Structure 1
């Protein structure tokens, strides 16, 4: 069984909203709770939000970094993108279309799963239940709609994924331009290097994308690239042509080779 958690990130000025599934082999609640307590946060009352102001808050920054490391070690990720003007109508159904594709991936195919959705992704709970009722492609899933992300901690992992990928897409669209100084461990050649924010975001999460190797790669570069689409990416028809093209270019395949 896998546990899947969905949360979203909305960017109306840039014309898109994005939702991400965090896919975990085990319920992450216990380990996440231990991380929260390690940095002085009570998991019963505190909720991690990627949009929170973290400047000068070393404990919150350390918790964020630990959660990102947890994702890199333990989770896979799948994304859907919709037009922001229609996100309240499209995000939930688009996530179900994404889920149908993700369930065909060898990691998930033929297994039972529990799927948790944050609040507000569908018009209402009964509408969500009607969309999945009797669907043979979703028969192996136990659905939990309109969940409180403070109580269902895995949704907070999906929040990090959605926020991270939104920053990557915003940069690819040219809507943000920011550079950061890398704080890499040990003797990494990247320590102290100034890089684009989108690159730093991608480097920390790139192994989480739900993907498969390319069939019959013709050279070493193709061997190092994997296909994320269609298992880990769905772009709704509502998305305008420019955003759809950039999103496919940014997320449709993923480089897993050396970046030294």
Structure 2
């Protein structure tokens, strides 16, 4: 059984919204509770939000980095992209259908949790889900409170990260960050989109490319079959950029 949590990141000025699943092998709540405590926060009273200003808050930066580590070691990622936000809910269900066909997830029962506000109503969400074949192995919980369902807070971090990666791929941001312990000279500065990609590239739900071990593409895995859904509503610009950014991942050495 897998536990899947979904949240979204809206970027209306740039013509898209993105939703992401955090896919965990087990209910992550107890581990997240301990992680929050280690960073000086109480999960029962504090909710992590990527939109919170963190520049002058070392504690929040520490929590964000710990959650990034949790994603890298404990989660897999699947994303969908839409225009605006009206299709986020239906597109997320279409992504769910693709994701559970992954060899690791196929044929199992799953618990799936959607954040609040992704559908016009819970009844509408259930109607749409009932019309999609292939979701019978999922127990789906709509309109969930992210304060109480802590896995959604992890999905919030993933959606924000992937949204920033897509903004970078679209040429909408141009930010350079200093990265300590990068493997390069101290104080190296790299593109923000590259830094975010490097941190989560191993976590995307993917399958092998089928390349021979001597082929230069051997270190590339394919995300699009199960871990990426691009809604027909997406603009031509986004529909081109999203597969380039998320459709496959290079897992080889980048140092």
CA distance in 2, matches of 1:170, 1:190: 28
- 1:120 and 2:108 equivalent? no
Alignment match, 1:30: 30
Alpha-carbon spacing, 1:60–1:140, altered in 2? closer, same or farther (3 Å): same
Q: Secondary structure at the match of 2:218?
A: helix
Alpha-carbon spacing, 1:139–1:191, altered in 2? closer, same or farther (3 Å): farther
Structure 2: runs of 5+ lacking an equivalent: none
CA drift at 1:159: 0.5
- 1:102 and 2:99 equivalent? yes
Structure 1: runs of 5+ lacking an equivalent: none
Q: Secondary structure at the match of 1:210?
A: coil
Alignment match, 2:64: 64
Deviations 1:202-257 (A, max 9, x none): 11111110000012448532101111002000000101111110111111111000
CA drift at 1:38: 1.2
Deviates more, 1:50-59 or 1:216-225: 216-225
- 1:148 and 2:114 equivalent? no
Task: Decide which of 195, 200, 205 is 2:200's aligned counterpart.
Answer: 205
- 1:131 and 2:128 equivalent? yes
CA distance in 1, matches of 2:12, 2:187: 34
Task: Decide which of 126, 151, 154 is 1:157's aligned counterpart.
Answer: 154
Q: How many residues align?
A: 255
CA distance in 1, matches of 2:51, 2:80: 20
1:182–1:190 Cα contact (<8 Å) kept: no
2:19–2:79 Cα contact (<8 Å) kept: yes
TM-score normalised by length of structure 2: 0.97
TM-score normalised by length of structure 1: 0.95
Which runs of structure 2 are paired with 1:186-205 in the superposition (5 Å)? 188-189=183-184, 191-205=186-200
